Structure 1
Amino acid sequence: MRELLGPDAGAEVDPAQFASQTPDGRDAMGLLARSAPASISAQRRMFSPRAAMARGAAFLDLVVRTVVADTGRQADQAAMVANRGVRAYVRVVELPACSRCIILAGREYGVSSGFLRHPRCDCTMEPVTRRNHPTPLDAEDLFESMSPAQRRKTFGEAGAKAVQDGARISSVVNARKGMDRVEMFGRTVQVTRVGTGSRKKKRPPRLMPEEIYRLAGDDRNQAIQLLYKNGFLR
């Protein structure tokens, strides 16, 4: 971070103050020690010894990866806030990454804005200064650099196909937040309630890309028309 900020980096971050506790204020050693009770609890639920130990190890892996990444970002942000030359920061996302992070790739935020992340998130931030104007890959760039298998794994078969047909990546990803099954057209279909308007003026649920492709079959024109109608294309 000091390399990016240059010779006028401002106040120096004290690493010890960040390493003594987790980013949310909990005792780091106490949190790590919870891996043992996780294994004991699994054994009490009749898991095999091997499975119980694996459960504790998985918890420990989750905690270590998350705390280390969060602490690094917390220290980086403190360094940026302390430097008055930093105007903002951009989110840097590297593959492999989840769909939620990909749609945030390359976005610029105020220097003190919170960093959206999830457990095991390894995204980073890069400062925007007078000398440093980062241009990281955005969601579309990342999608283009992914293999077909990576696209299917990250966005699902229908989601990846919708993006390839021109749908906005953010629309496809956000639609899954409110995914539901309802009776429409005389059958049970997958829909989303995200992006259907305010609570006072709520429009009918939108078809998910999966249902759009099922309804359209091999008719590419109908699929694209339904993508437009359901807000995935504009």
Structure 2
Amino acid sequence: MATTLRSARRNYRLSALIARRAVREARKVRGKGSTAVAGVVVAHQIAQAQTSQTAVAEMLAEQEIDSIADALLNLSSFTTDLPSIDRMIQAVDTDFEFDRMVESIVQDAARAAESVAVAVRPDIYHVRYVNPPCCARCAILAGRVYRWSSGFQRHPGCDCSLVPTTVASSYAQSPDQLVADGLVRGLSKADMKALADGADLNRVVNIRSRKAGLLDAGQALTRGGRPTPAGIYRVASDREQALALLQQYGYILP
């Protein structure tokens, strides 16, 4: 398994820190209403978008991959509008649900910005990077290479991230090595015995988690009447059209 990128670890820690800080600050102003909460959320979404844009450049540089972006991100475009935040707040009942809602939409901004930061760079793809210890569902997808426009499935609470790279890059994670190193949670004794006896990890995991909650990333294809980056990737026939739409809807600067 390739050595973990220092910049990838740093980005993961910083992104998680921003999300936790957003939750903490949102709790403080919750009693003041949706506008106050939205102010906190938006500020942290912009911070996430800036972090993601910087992180993509740093991860490529660490791999000694020379790639110049065709456009810069419009950081404010990755924020959620007040009516949407108000609807989300009204839909939650408990403090736990409120915290998860804030953390989720702040983290979504980071992922969306990272996907766009990859899309604006020609011939750059991304690899699924799991942050071990991880669940078995994510372990079997570790190291998978995705096209610039492809999202990946994630379950609630999934903290997998994307590492920008080229198709020729050797950067990857090995699912089997993750298991061997004891970094995969949720495998039973029977599962481990089957693997030791030579069973295929994908089959062991999939047979018992066929409906385990993995969902398409970027489930929201529109937000506030505007297509999300995931929605744009869904309809774009090629990278050129995607870039045109990303610019049209304000995600990247002209």
State the TM-score, normalizing by the size of structure 1. 0.56
The ranges of structure 1 where at least 4 consecutive aligned residues each deviate by more than 3 angstroms after the TM superposition are none
Letter of the structure 2 residue corresponding to residue 4 of structure 1: M
Letter of the structure 1 residue corresponding to residue 137 of structure 2: R
1:62 matched residue in structure 2: 100
Q: Report deviation, 1:119.
A: 1.4
1:127 matched residue in structure 2: 164
Match of 2:69 among 6, 9, 17: 9
1:154 matched residue in structure 2: 186
Q: Which ranges of structure 1 fall in alignment gaps of 5 or more residues? A: 39-55, 180-234
Distance 1:76 1:34, change over 3 A: same
User: CA-atom RMSD, angstroms?
Assistant: 2.7
1:90 matched residue in structure 2: 127
2:27 matched residue in structure 1: none
SS, match of residue 125 in structure 1 = strand
Contact 1:62–1:119 (Cα < 8 Å) also in 2: no
1:110-121 aligned at under 5 Å gives the runs: 110-121=147-158
Q: Report deviation, 1:4.
A: 2.8
Letter of the structure 2 residue corresponding to residue 118 of structure 1: H
Which structure is larger by alpha-carbon Rg, 1 or 2?
1
Fraction of identical pairs, as percent: 32
CA deviation map 1:27-55 (0-9, x unaligned): 234314433xx2xxxxxxxxxxxxxxxxx
1:103 matched residue in structure 2: 140
Would you say how many aligned residue pairs link Structure 1 and Structure 2? 151
Distance 1:137 1:178, change over 3 A: closer
Letter of the structure 2 residue corresponding to residue 77 of structure 1: S
CA deviation map 1:170-193 (0-9, x unaligned): 1101001459xxxxxxxxxxxxxx
CA deviation map 1:143-196 (0-9, x unaligned): 11216xxx5x511221122122221111101001459xxxxxxxxxxxxxxxxx
CA deviation map 1:116-161 (0-9, x unaligned): 112111100111238x8252322112111216xxx5x511221122
Letter of the structure 1 residue corresponding to residue 79 of structure 2: A
2:175 matched residue in structure 1: 139
